[in-house]
Chains A and B, each alone.
Chain A
Amino acid sequence: MAQEAHGAIYDLLAVRGVSRRDFLKYCSYVAAMLGLSEAAAPAIAAAVEKGSKLKPALWLNGGSCTGCTESMAQVDSPDVATIVLELLSLNYFETVMAAAGEHAEKNIQDTIAAGGYLLIYEGSVMTGEDGNTLLVNGHKGTDILKEAAESADAIIAVGACAVDGGWVAAHPNPAGATGVQAFLDVEGVKTPVVNIPCCPMNPEWVVAMVVQWLLVAEDDPATFLAKTELLGKSYDDRLTGRNVTLLYPKYVVGSTIHDNCPRRGHFENGDFVTEFGSAEEAMGYCLYKVGCKGPQTFTQCPITRWNRSVSWCVQSGAPCIGCGAISWVDNNTPFFKRLSSMQMGDGLGYVQPGSVAAVVGGVAAAALVAHGLGMKAAGRIGPDGPPTETVKKHDRKRQAKGGDK
């Protein structure tokens, strides 16, 4: 069927200079992300074509730097990913839409009233200042999210901020930021949320989830959940104090960066960069010693890569800073140190685990030497050892009191 496919999508692609072949190639790439074989590509193409004309969507921005939008829009030439997303009927996308003011607000309200849309949410949910942030025409950002979430078929939380608050929620979190799932748990909204990690998120992963929806969901959230390979990961949300379970596409978070890293061979051989700007760095050695968080970070960056598969952090020479992790800023700073520093208490600063350990080890060694000198001074050392009591002190005391009854 897809072989014969033509119509709106191909016209649009043609206008952008994307051939049908490019499009199918892209579809097989998406198929791989969804854990399908390449044979699924035509079905994906068909689903995109069919769905794109039907599926309304909203893209809301929360507390963030808009980097995810930027990541989506970084294209300088026709890009299949953006076209696919454009083909969703995106009724509201603050940063890039043409509509403004009342007209734009009406688009949101109409979409919510009609229901049956996908909600893409970028940025953290800021609950600080009693929620008086991200105000649009007097509506609190948190209220808009809640309303839009309640009537959505499904939510795609894009980027670390939407996942668990991201850098906005980093200590001391003055904005009271948290993730979409944590917020909806508190509000009792049950709409399924699929999380796309990283700061910013990878556009291909978002496209894969949109395509997955068009492909399998039959407009039913339950069917979507049943037919999509998802992985649940729980964490304790510090702001809400709740244990929150996040759903991720399994493809995205199934293995560590370290496991797929092209520099892994250097890691095993023990070829490390110790200093930036060194000969080792020029040779592309492993960045473990300069703080690479790849071994602890579960995302698919080395395989999907970034900017339309041109490169990614480690390939471009920077250690992974672990932006795909939960509480990624607090858990992974300083970026250029192997282990994160520990906070000693508010205002007391941070300390590296190695420094603590060296102090403890040093104190123990010094104490033993001092104790040994004491033992010698007390005359306890030698082949005969110290004099030993013949009766326990406890028993001596009891005997003095009159012995056993």
Chain B
Amino acid sequence: MAGHAHYREAHPLVFVITHWINLICMIMLAFSGFYIHYPFFGGFMGVARGMHFVAMYVIIINLTFRIIAAFFVKTATDLGSHQVDTDIKNWLPQEKNKHQFFETVKYYIFLRKEAVISAKYGSLQKIAYLATIPLTYLMAYTGFAIYGPTMTWGLFSGGVEMVGGPMNMRIIHYFMMWVFIVFTMIHAYLANIYNFKPSKIIFAWKESE
């Protein structure tokens, strides 16, 4: 799996760009989020909030665009392959991922030696990538629920009431930041554990054999 070639078909330029936007927004949101949570140096609150409020719209638009594009853009069907098909098919679990979930888990906890057959993404990877979608929208929801201009909208005030008040909503938003941080840690780790070929393609769009 990791020894295969990495061609541009795996991540066409649009997705390299959406990934960059994701990464930059996430860094901005997490940094400004940490600052809003507890201003650890002086003189930056206005900028931090401005940064948060811009990046939050960008990341939502970017994610929504990424999902829509999955129905139109073609990506490689398999690891190290030039053959392409509509991205959404490669994104959702496929025939090749069947019966592989527990085998993948076993592989990663060293209960089996050989790596497992997967499609473009392994079954765990697909679960993780799909989970980021509702997670990001939920993050946006909890964010708008503590955002002055929107928090009185019925859609959001109902949620605030459900969790027992705006303080609790802030704590949920804060905890969810950590979910993203842990996700990104695991994600960056797994993406680069074998070698940096996957990063070369997703960041620099450079192919490697």
Query: Which chain A residues lie closer than 8 Å to B185 at the CB level?
Result: 361, 364-365, 368
User: Which residues of chain A (344-393) have a CB below 8 Å from chain B?
Assistant: 353-354, 356-357, 360-361, 364-365, 368, 371-372, 374-375, 378, 380-393
B105 at the interface (CB under 8 A from A): no
Using A372-B189, A382-B195, A388-B117 as known contacts, say yes or no to A331 and B43 having CB atoms under 8 A apart. no
**A331-B164, A339-B174, A372-B193 known; A270 and B148 CB under 8 Å?**
no
Q: Let me know if A270 and B170 touch, CB within 8 A.
A: no
Other-chain contact of A340, B1, B171, B177, B193 (Cβ < 8 Å): B171
Which residues of chain B are within 8 angstroms of A389 by Cβ–Cβ distance? 114-117
Binds B, one of A143-151, A215-223, A300-308, A321-329: A321-329
C-alpha spacing A271/B45, complex, angstroms: 8
Asked if B189 and A386 sit within 8 Å, CB to CB, the answer is no
Q: Are B167 and A339 in touch, CB under 8 angstroms?
A: yes
Contacting residues, chain B, for A356 (C-beta < 8 A) = 175
Is A388 a contact partner of B167 (Cβ separation < 8 A)? no
Look across to chain A and name the residue whose beta carbon is closest to the beta carbon of B44.
Answer: A270
- Asked if B153 CB lies within 8 Å of chain A CBs, one says no
Q: Indicate if the CB atoms of A392 and B100 lie closer than 8 Å.
A: yes
Q: Is A167 an interface residue (CB 8 A)?
A: no
Q: Report the separation of the CA atoms of residues A288 and B185 in the bound assembly, to the nearest whole angstrom.
A: 30
Contact B45 A233 (CB under 8 A): no
Q: Per-residue 0/1 for B92-124: is the Cβ within 8 Å of any A Cβ (1 yes, 0 no)?
A: 000000111001000010101111110000000
A399 located at the interface, meaning its Cβ lies under 8 Å from any Cβ of chain B in the complex: no
Given A293-B167, A353-B171, A267:B45 Cβ within 8 A: yes
**Interface check A259, CB cutoff 8 A:** yes
CA distance A393 to B38 in the complex (A): 50
Answer yes or no: A94 CB below 8 A from chain B CBs.
no
**Docked complex Cα distance between A256 and B152 (Å):** 11
- Pairwise interchain contact B103-A392, C-beta atoms closer than 8 A: yes
Which residues of A have CB within 8 Å of B39? Answer: 270, 272, 288-289
In the complex, chain A residues whose CB is within 8 Å of the CB of B195: 381-383, 385
A269 adjacent to chain B (CB < 8 Å): yes
Tell me if A375 and B193 are in contact (CB < 8 A). yes
Q: Which of A158-188 contact B (CB under 8 A)?
A: none
Which residues on the A side are within 8 Å of B134 (C-beta)? none
A270 to B48: give the CA distance in the assembly, Å.
Answer: 9
- CB pair B43–A271 under 8 Å, yes or no, is yes
Given A327-B164, A374-B110, A382-B195, is A364 in contact with B170 using a C-beta cutoff of 8 Å? Answer: no
CB contacts (< 8 Å) of B46 on chain A: these are 268-270
**Among candidates B4, B41, B103, B181, residue contacting A393 with C-beta atoms closer than 8 Å:** B103
Q: Is the CB of B132 closer than 8 A to any CB of chain A?
A: no
In the bound complex, how far is the Cα of B164 from the Cα of A394, in angstroms? Answer: 48
> Contact residue range for chain A?
35 or more
Asked if A235 CB lies within 8 Å of chain B CBs, one says yes
Pairwise interchain contact B161-A234, C-beta atoms closer than 8 A: yes
Cα A167 to Cα B134 in complex, Å, equals: 38
The number of A-B residue pairs with CB atoms under 8 Å apart is 148
By the criterion CB–CB under 8 Å, are A296 and B170 in contact? yes
What sequence of 0s and 1s flags, for each residue 119-155 of chain B, a beta carbon within 8 Å of any chain A beta carbon?
0000000000000000000000000001010000000
B45-A269 in contact (CB<8A): yes
With A and B bound together, what is the CA distance between A211 and B175 in angstroms?
46
Closest to B174 in A: A353
> Is residue A55 contacting chain B, with contact meaning CB distance below 8 A?
no
In the assembled complex, the Cα of A316 lies from the Cα of B154 at a distance in Å of: 35
Q: Which residues of A contact B61 (CB under 8 A)?
A: none
Complex CA gap A381/B175 in Å reads 33
A270 near B174 with CB under 8 A, answer: no
A340 and B167 contacting across the interface, CB-CB below 8 Å: yes
- Name the one of B2, B181, B186 contacting A368, with C-beta atoms under 8 angstroms: B186
Are B148 and A384 closer than 8 Å at their CB atoms? no
Contact check, A360 vs B182: say whether CB atoms are below 8 A apart.
yes
Also in contact, A361 and B182, with CB within 8 A (given A296-B165, A322-B167, A382-B195): yes
Residues B69-113 near A (CB distance < 8 A): 98-100, 103, 108, 110, 112-113
- One digit per residue, 1 when the CB lies within 8 angstroms of any chain A CB and 0 when it does not, for chain B 43-58 equals 1111011000000000
Q: Which residue of B lies closest to A390 (CB)?
A: B117
Are the CB atoms of B165 and A325 closer together than 8 Å? Answer: yes
User: Would you call A338 an interface residue if the criterion is a C-beta within 8 Å of the partner chain's C-beta atoms?
Assistant: yes
Q: Is the CB of A331 within 8 A of B167?
A: yes
Q: Closest residue of chain A to B100, judged by CB?
A: A392
Q: Does A342 contact B (CB under 8 A)?
A: yes
Which one of B108, B117, B166, B194 contacts A382 once the chains associate, using CB atoms below 8 Å?
A: B194
With a 10 A CB-CB cut-off, give which of B167, B171, B174, B182 has the most chain A CB atoms: B167
B residues 146-204 with Cβ under 8 Å of A? Answer: 146, 148, 161, 164-168, 170-171, 174-175, 177-178, 181-182, 185-186, 189, 193-195
Q: Which 7 A-B pairs have the closest CB atoms?
A: A385-B2, A394-B99, A385-B3, A384-B3, A270-B45, A270-B43, A296-B166
A to B CB contacts below 8 Å, 20 in the list:
A235-B165, A268-B49, A272-B45, A288-B39, A289-B38, A326-B165, A339-B167, A339-B170, A340-B167, A354-B37, A357-B178, A365-B185, A371-B189, A378-B113, A380-B194, A383-B195, A384-B3, A385-B4, A392-B100, A393-B116
Sample of 19 more A-B contacts, CB < 8 Å, known A374-B110, A395-B99:
A233-B161, A256-B148, A267-B45, A270-B42, A270-B43, A271-B42, A288-B39, A289-B38, A331-B167, A331-B168, A338-B38, A364-B182, A381-B193, A382-B194, A385-B195, A387-B113, A388-B1, A388-B3, A389-B117
